[in-house]
């Protein structure tokens, strides 16, 4: 699958809830995992491959071999705590990295590929990646999580680079 690059307008749209976990969805998820691995990313949301559905895949940071991936279908952030600065990049804004603000800890609930509801209570990288990918489902890219001044400078830079 091709990764949509900023300023592709699909990246700024909100995604719809998933009603059925059918073969089409499983195929999409498998393709997303392959695309993310090829791009050496740690997370990928459906809008980034042009599909406006509420699903993302990401690395499972509890597995040190980095071989395991989590599938998050219709995720909901239930609770957040604290605030941290995190240096982020995005496969849809290649080559640009900067600091943004995120919640330190989150509680997030999602369906897995078998339709089973799971709750994750996380901090560190897992929490950051969950929040970054979750934002994609609402059409929010990481510069939105910067301070206003920083965001203006960053957006000018990327608007020059990507047309
Ligand atoms: Ni991203």
What is the rounded distance in angstroms from the CA atom of residue 156 to the CA atom of residue 59?
A: 31
Candidates 40, 67, 81, 133; catalytic one = 133
Question: Does residue 90 lie in a domain region?
Answer: yes
Question: Does residue 48 lie in a domain region?
Answer: yes
- 24 Cα–ligand 1 center, Å: 23
Question: Does residue 2 lie in a domain region?
Answer: no
Peptide bond before 92: cis, by omega within 30 degrees of 0?
no
Going by pLDDT thresholds of 50, 70 and 90, the confidence category of residue 67 is confident
Averaged over 111-124, what is the pLDDT?
97
- Edge-to-edge strands, sheet with 105-111: 43-45, 55-59, 69-81, 105-111, 117-122
Q: Is the pLDDT of residue 140 over 90?
A: yes
pLDDT of residue 66: 81
Question: Does residue 3 lie in a domain region?
Answer: no
Question: Does residue 46 lie in a domain region?
Answer: yes
pLDDT of residue 111: 98
- 12 Cα–ligand 1 center, Å: 12
Tokens of residue 19, six digits: 């009603």
* Farthest-apart Cα atoms in the chain, separation: 45
pLDDT of residue 16: 98
- 115 Cα–ligand 1 center, Å: 24
Q: Is 81 a catalytic residue?
A: no
Q: What is the CATH number of the domain that holds 82?
A: 3.90.45.10
What percent of the chain stands above pLDDT 90? 96
- 39 Cα–ligand 1 center, Å: 12
Going by pLDDT thresholds of 50, 70 and 90, the confidence category of residue 163 is confident
Question: Does residue 143 lie in a domain region?
Answer: yes
- 88 Cα–ligand 1 center, Å: 9
Residue ranges making up the domain that contains 63? 9-162
Averaged over 152-157, what is the pLDDT?
96
pTM: 0.97
The count of structural domains within the chain is 1
Question: Does residue 1 lie in a domain region?
Answer: no
- The answer to which of 5-9, 36-40, 64-68, 157-161 has the lowest mean pLDDT is 64-68
Question: Does residue 17 lie in a domain region?
Answer: yes
């Amino acid at each position: 699958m091709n990764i949509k690059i900023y300023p592709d307008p699909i990246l700024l749209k909100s995604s719809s809830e998933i009603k059925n976990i059918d073969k089409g969805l499983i195929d999409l998820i498998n393709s997303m995992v392959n695309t993310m691995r090829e791009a050496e990313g740690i997370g990928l949301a459906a809008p980034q491959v042009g599909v406006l559905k509420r699903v993302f895949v990401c690395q499972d940071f509890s597995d040190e071999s980095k071989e395991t991936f989590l599938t998050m279908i219709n995720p909901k952030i239930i609770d957040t705590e604290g605030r941290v600065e995190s240096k982020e990049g995005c496969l849809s804004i290649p080559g640009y990295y900067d600091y943004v603000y995120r919640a330190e800890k989150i509680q997030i609930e999602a369906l897995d590929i078998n339709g089973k509801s799971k709750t994750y209570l996380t901090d560190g990288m897992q929490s950051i990646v969950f929040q970054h990918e979750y934002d994609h489902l609402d059409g929010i890219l990481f510069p939105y999580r910067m301070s206003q001044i920083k965001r203006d400078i960053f957006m000018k830079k990327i608007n020059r680079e990507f047309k």
